[in-house]
Amino acid sequence: MDPSASASLVVRSPRQTVSLLRSRRPQFGRPERERGRERNPPRRGREASGPKPSEVYGFVGSITVVTATAVYLAWAYAPEPALRSLGITYYPTKYWALAVPSLAMVALALSLLAYLGSNFVATPPPTSFSTIFDEYSRERPGAAAAVHVDAATAQGDEEEEEAERPIEPISDISIHHINNLMFGDH
């Protein structure tokens, strides 16, 4: 195997891979010095990079919410003659000032009840075996061959083997083991 092939088989982080791809990408029709300048522009503090889009959207969103709340409260609490004197003649009736928030609260409460109801419908009954086993259940390897020994011997052996034992793969605890722990051997 040649050295270039073995170098390409090295596992790299995604950040290293992207930087290597950018450096290998051919850029035709531009001199070498322009390519280097565009790839690494000089930065002078936070002002050079500009605000983040999430900051801009957050600022615009907060200003919009404050303005909409102020307009809603002015429309809801101002008497109709005061609005007409300001030249505002086209607006919904005051009924909607109470109806929209009331309908929104009822819709929220009903959606929460529908969500709870759908969870109750999707949950199997407690007597169903699907609460114990399903297609994703994993039995612990070697669980059937487990040998029961007294606690003192088991603790001494366990301390010696702790450093050598690998981490077991993730698995479910069998219902027989749970019953044995909860109710003992009967």
Out of 37-41, 149-153, 154-158, 165-169, give the one with best mean pLDDT.
165-169
Backbone angles phi, psi at 133, to 5 degrees: -125, 145
- Alpha-carbon Rg for the chain in angstroms: 34
The answer to whether the CB of 169 falls within 8 A of the CB of 139 is no
Query: In sequence order, what are the residues at sequence separation of 6 or more whose Cβ sits closer than 8 angstroms to the Cβ of residue 171?
Result: 138, 139, 140, 141, 143
Give residue-wise pLDDT tens across range 26-57.
555 555 555 555 555 555 555 557 888 999 99
pLDDT of res. 147: 46
Give residue-wise pLDDT tens across range 73-107.
999 999 999 989 999 888 889 999 999 999 999 99
Higher pLDDT, 184 or 153: 184
pLDDT of res. 102: 97
Pick from 167, 163, 165, 168: nearest CA to 141 = 168
pLDDT of res. 96: 93
Query: In sequence order, what are the residues at sequence separation of 6 or more whose Cβ sits closer than 8 angstroms to the Cβ of residue 20?
Result: 12
pLDDT of res. 25: 57
Q: DSSP string of 80-126?
A: HHHHHHTT------THHHHHHHHHHHHHHHHHHHHHHHHHHHHSPPT
Query: Pseudo-torsion of CA 4, 10, 16, 19, nearest 10°?
Result: 20
> Token pair for residue 139?
């039995």
Q: Which residue is listed with tokens 């950018």?
A: 22
Residue 8 has pLDDT above 70, yes or no: no
Rounded-to-integer distance, Cα 16 and Cα 22, Å = 10
Give residue-wise pLDDT tens across range 97-144.
999 999 999 999 999 999 999 999 999 888 888 777 778 888 877 654
Task: Please give the mean pLDDT across all residues of the chain.
Answer: 77
